[in-house]
């Protein structure tokens, strides 16, 4: 298995592992509900930290019906974000990553129009994703699509780390493409849904890191050489003896916004650079947006393994 394909699989694995504890910010509740995190698990039906009851999405026509039978759970307190998924399955963003990898690998090239057709068809097909919660970027995209905008103009200015979920899949599907061309394609793809400059910068950084590691550069060296605007290896060296929940929670944030989430993910990848199992476990245990951080942590450490 080549390192880029390993990176793609690592991202899927990190997401599936974190699924039950995704968006737990109360670590006491996380430890109470999932006292043993030693493998993939079914999520509990209830999520004490769930705030998605405050999210509102009104279906107006078939072109924006992406919730399907999950719609009745919106606005209900305590519902787990991924209640319908089972142990080992991937959340919606990573199900899309799998579809993207399959499409691009089969075609031998990336085609934005073909991807948008697949994305729209998948999200509008009942039972395709079976995920209860869908991020803001999906909702924004399909509201614009239902209003008659061209698909390539339906992306919103979303600044969450979920925008990186498909990057390892796309990089793995185009392993021999020159780096400059690959970076342009990654930017084009991510901008279809996430038109935020920081998300695009992070996607570019992740692309460069994955290719550096695939070319034989050790992960820690790659981070030092190519992620300096996001991450300090000097600071990381001073942090690594301290508990992860202190570093990510006090110094770095476990939240989903890219400016906080990407550095936190890079730190975990740096600390656990030579142990994929430990990296995936640590990513889940610190809570917060663990599934989407998993795109970074899982892919980088798997590529380095």
CB 132 within 8 A of CB 83: yes
Q: What is the pLDDT of residue 49?
A: 87
Q: What is the pLDDT of residue 31?
A: 97
CATH, range 3-304:
1.10.4080.10
Q: How confident is the model at residue 101 (pLDDT cuts 50, 70, 90)?
A: very high
**Residue 53 reports pLDDT greater than 90:** no
The 10s digit of each residue's pLDDT in 29-46 is 999 999 999 999 999 999
Q: What is the pLDDT of residue 1?
A: 61
pTM (two decimals): 0.97
| 3-state secondary structure (DSSP) of residue 252 | strand
CB 16 within 8 A of CB 88: yes
The 10s digit of each residue's pLDDT in 220-234 is 999 999 999 999 999
Out of 43-52, 152-161, 282-291, pick the least confident. Answer: 43-52
Q: Where are the domains of the chain?
A: 3-304
On average, the pLDDT of the chain sits at 97
Q: What is the pLDDT of residue 54?
A: 87
Distance of alpha carbon 260 from alpha carbon 244, whole angstroms: 15
CB 219 within 8 A of CB 275: no
Q: How confident is the model at residue 121 (pLDDT cuts 50, 70, 90)?
A: very high
The stretch 89-102 carries a mean pLDDT of: 98
CB 43 within 8 A of CB 20: yes
DSSP secondary structure of 2-69: -HHHHHHHHHHHHHHHHGGGTTB--HHHHHHH-S--SS--PPPSB-TT--GGG------SGGG--SGG
List Cβ neighbours of 280 (8 Å cut-off, separation of 6 or more): 10, 13, 14, 17, 18, 294, 297, 298, 301
The 10s digit of each residue's pLDDT in 170-209 is 999 999 999 999 999 999 999 999 999 999 999 999 999 9
Q: How confident is the model at residue 56 (pLDDT cuts 50, 70, 90)?
A: confident
């Amino acid at each position: 298995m080549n390192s880029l394909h390993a990176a793609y699989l690592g991202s899927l694995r990190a997401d599936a592992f974190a699924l039950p504890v995704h968006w737990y910010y109360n670590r006491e509740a996380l430890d109470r509900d999932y006292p043993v995190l030693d493998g993939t698990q079914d999520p509990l039906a209830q999520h004490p930290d769930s705030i998605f009851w405050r999210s509102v999405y009104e279906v107006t026509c078939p072109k924006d019906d992406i919730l399907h039978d999950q719609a009745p759970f919106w606005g209900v307190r305590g519902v787990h974000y991924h209640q319908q998924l089972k142990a080992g399955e991937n959340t919606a963003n990573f199900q899309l990553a799998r579809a993207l990898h399959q499409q691009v690998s089969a075609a031998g090239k990336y085609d934005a129009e073909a991807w948008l057709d697949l994305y729209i068809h998948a999200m509008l097909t009942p039972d395709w994703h079976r995920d209860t919660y869908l991020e803001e970027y999906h909702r924004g995209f399909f509201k614009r699509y239902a209003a008659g905008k061209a698909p390539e103009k339906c992306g919103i200015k979303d600044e969450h780390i979920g925008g990186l979920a498909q990057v390892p899949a796309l990089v793995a599907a185009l392993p021999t493409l020159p780096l400059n061309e690959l970076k342009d394609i990654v930017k084009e793809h991510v901008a279809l849904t996430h038109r935020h400059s920081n998300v695009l910068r992070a996607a570019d950084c992740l692309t460069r890191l994955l290719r550096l590691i695939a070319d034989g550069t050790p992960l820690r060296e790659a981070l030092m050489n190519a992620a300096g605007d996001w991450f300090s290896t000097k600071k990381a060296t001073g942090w690594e003896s301290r508990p992860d929940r202190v570093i990510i929670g006090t110094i770095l944030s476990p939240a989903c916004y890219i400016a906080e989430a990407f550095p936190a993910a890079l730190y975990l990848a740096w600390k656990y650079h030579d142990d994929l199992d430990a990296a995936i476990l640590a990513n889940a245990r610190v809570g917060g947006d663990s599934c989407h951080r998993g795109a970074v942590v899982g892919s980088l450490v798997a590529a380095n393994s």
